[in-house]
Amino acid sequence: MKKTPEAAIEFASPNLLRIFASMVYDCLLLVAISIAYGAVVVGLRVAILGQPDVGQRIHWGLFAGIVITLGWLAILMFFYIYFWQKFGQTLGMKTWRIQLVDAKTNQRVSYSQALKRSLFAWLSFLFLGAGYWYKLIHPQQRLLHDLASDTKLILLKKK
């Protein structure tokens, strides 16, 4: 019996509802990560510059605010890049049986693919989810940021 190469096996594509549900699960984790990041940033600020007077807020300044925000976005992106590259799925994706793979080989994505996908996913999200809605009209049901990073989402079978 001739064995079919894994790259030739066709996998089902998860629907948008399943993708959005996995995003909600991941958002719960991202909220916890954001709180921890905020605590570290405030702790460092207090350790370096001291506590503000009683009843006063911490004033960051424009430059520090931009740096802190960019650091926060980098941490959120790192979450996705790490899990996509290492395991092919985040905890939300694992719960909903979704996996990210290379579009050509159906293997684990590279670091650069995960980075590209993360950057384009933010753009997709910022433009009212246009990159996600694109799935409804694409013949292979791929997201716009999957096309940009040469990746695809597959629906795993129940165990």
In a domain, 15, yes or no: yes
The stretch 9-36 carries a mean pLDDT of: 93
pTM for the predicted model, two decimal places? 0.84
Q: How many domains does the chain have?
A: 1
Where in the sequence is the domain holding 56, given as residue range(s)? 11-155
Residue 2 lies in a domain: no
3-class SS of residue 153: strand
Q: Whose CA is closest to 84, among 59, 109, 104? A: 109
Q: In this structure, is residue 4 part of a structural domain?
A: no
**What average pLDDT does the structure give for the chain?**
91
Question: Would strands 98-102 and 151-155 be described as parallel, antiparallel, or unpaired?
Answer: antiparallel
> Considering just the CA atoms, what is the radius of gyration of the chain in Å?
19
**Residue 76 belongs to some domain of the structure:** yes
The predicted pLDDT at position 125 comes to 84
* Six token digits for residue 121: 């996913």
Measure the CA–CA gap between 6 and 130, rounded to whole angstroms: 31
63-87, pLDDT tens digit by residue?
999 999 999 999 999 999 999 999 9
CA distances from 121 to 5, 144, 154 (A): 30, 8, 17
Three-state SS across 72-119? HHHHHHHHHHHHHHHHCCCHHHHHCCEEEEECCCCCCCCHHHHHHHHH
Residue 109 domain-assigned?
A: yes
Confidence of residue 97 (pLDDT cuts 50, 70, 90): very high
